[in-house]
């Protein structure tokens, strides 16, 4: 029994750091000399970013919707909802985003896929899992496959993109760079491989390259 308990405690100790590594923010922009972060990286708590004299980085937190523009020489330590900055200057703004984004992982999206399809077939519209505040989504879809975005509340609107693995950083598809926008207020379902997610575009959403955290759609 003691041996079993010891093994379990050991496994828990190994699992805890992994659990603590869930991403809390996304790097929206990097300029100049910056180490520890690249454009469209996800960062985790206690990560450290170092910025040179001419450098800057823009961080957006997935849960707090806090957007930080950090410039000048200094260090940035990632927190759960905001950064601790030493030396550099910080400009903070609150952006529109859905905190549910932080939990919109592949496990959850796969779990609702069958329910979504049954609901649509039964002509009962499903509840959205999150809201996008930009009408040109930035979709995280890694590797090869077909990304499909279709409108649920009004039939006929459908976007289908065949991905060959050459997306931005191998996994990001930016509708803004293609001048494509969804309809504000519309209810949509996105599917890629085994993941599916239902989302609503906010009625006040704007097209184009609005803040990434407000239009990020994760299809992990």
pLDDT, position 50? 98
Q: Sorting pLDDT into bands at 50, 70 and 90, what band is 4? A: very low
Q: Does 15 score more than 70 pLDDT?
A: no
In what helix (H) or strand (E) does residue 155 lie, and over which residues does it extend? none
Q: Sorting pLDDT into bands at 50, 70 and 90, what band is 19? A: very low
Q: Average pLDDT over the chain, rounded to whole?
A: 85
Q: Sorting pLDDT into bands at 50, 70 and 90, what band is 83? A: very high
Per-residue pLDDT reduced to its tens digit, 103-145: 765 455 555 555 655 555 556 888 899 999 999 999 998 889 8
Give CB contacts under 8 A, 24+ apart, made by 65-71: 65/94, 65/95, 65/96, 65/97, 65/99, 65/213, 65/214, 66/92, 66/93, 66/94, 66/95, 67/28, 67/92, 67/93, 67/94, 67/95, 67/211, 67/213, 68/92, 69/93
Q: What are phi and psi of 194, to 5 degrees?
A: -95, 5
Determine the average pLDDT of the residues in 77-90.
96
- How many Å separate Cα 140 from the centre of its chain? 7
pLDDT, position 118? 58
pTM, 2 dp: 0.81
Per-residue pLDDT reduced to its tens digit, 90-101: 999 999 999 887
pLDDT, position 13? 44
């Amino acid at each position: 029994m003691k041996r079993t308990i010891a093994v379990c405690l050991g496994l828990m100790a190994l699992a805890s750091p992994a659990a603590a590594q869930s991403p809390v923010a996304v790097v929206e922009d990097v300029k100049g000399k910056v180490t520890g972060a690249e454009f469209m990286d996800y960062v985790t708590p206690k990560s450290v970013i170092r910025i040179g004299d001419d450098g800057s980085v823009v961080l957006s937190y997935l849960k707090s919707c806090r957007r930080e523009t950090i410039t000048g020489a200094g260090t940035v330590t990632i927190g759960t909802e905001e950064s601790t900055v030493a030396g550099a200057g910080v400009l903070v703004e609150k952006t529109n985003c859905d905190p549910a984004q932080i939990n919109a992982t592949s496990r959850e999206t796969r779990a609702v896929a069958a329910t979504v399809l049954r609901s649509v077939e039964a002509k009962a519209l499903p509840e959205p899992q999150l809201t996008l505040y930009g009408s040109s989504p930035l979709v995280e879809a890694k590797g090869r496959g077909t990304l499909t975005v279709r409108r649920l509340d009004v039939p006929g609107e459908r976007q289908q993109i065949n991905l060959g693995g050459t997306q931005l950083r191998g996994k990001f598809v930016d509708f803004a760079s293609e001048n494509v926008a969804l309809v504000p207020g519309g209810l949509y379902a996105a599917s890629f491989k085994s993941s599916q997610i239902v989302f609503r575009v906010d009625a006040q959403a704007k097209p184009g390259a609005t803040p990434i955290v407000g239009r990020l759609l994760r299809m992990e």
